[in-house]
Amino acid sequence: MDATEATQFITLRLQPSVDPTLTDGEIADLVDLAVTTDADDNEPADDGWEPTYSVRGCWYAISEGYIIKYAKAVGRFSFTTDGQTFTRNQTLDHLEHQRKRAIAKVQSCPSVLRETPTC
């Protein structure tokens, strides 16, 4: 997949506009984590490398994105005021759950991808 497809894959699953949000720069950094060898077996650092991104790398980037979101939300806490209870730490639980789901996808995908897998 190319950079546009990788960005779409990551943003669709990571939802960077949902609180806690991620910046465009953070998404670009995450997309960089998904690079892989191209069809001619050129490594990303090689001259002539055709920008190529793997599904496995995208799932890894998504898991890292949830770590960033978690770090942004870590200051949230549960509290009670005026007889109402606010449980903001549920966001942390949700983000950790999503990170674990994404990393499980990394582990279930083959390490070398030549075609788009269904994992």
pLDDT, tens digit, 9 for 90 and up, residues 39-79: 999 999 999 999 999 999 999 999 999 999 999 998 877 78
Secondary structure of residue 79 in the 3-state scheme: strand
* pLDDT surpasses 60 at 35: yes
- Quick check: 106 and 60 in contact, CB under 8 A? yes
| Residue extents of the structural domains in the chain | 3-108
Task: Classify burial at 70, counting beta carbons within 10 Å of its beta carbon; exposed 0-12, middle 13-18, buried 19 or more.
Answer: middle
Q: What is the pLDDT of residue 75?
A: 84
What is the overall mean pLDDT for the chain?
89
Return left, alpha or beta for 54; rule: phi > 0 is left, psi -120 to 50 is alpha, else beta: beta
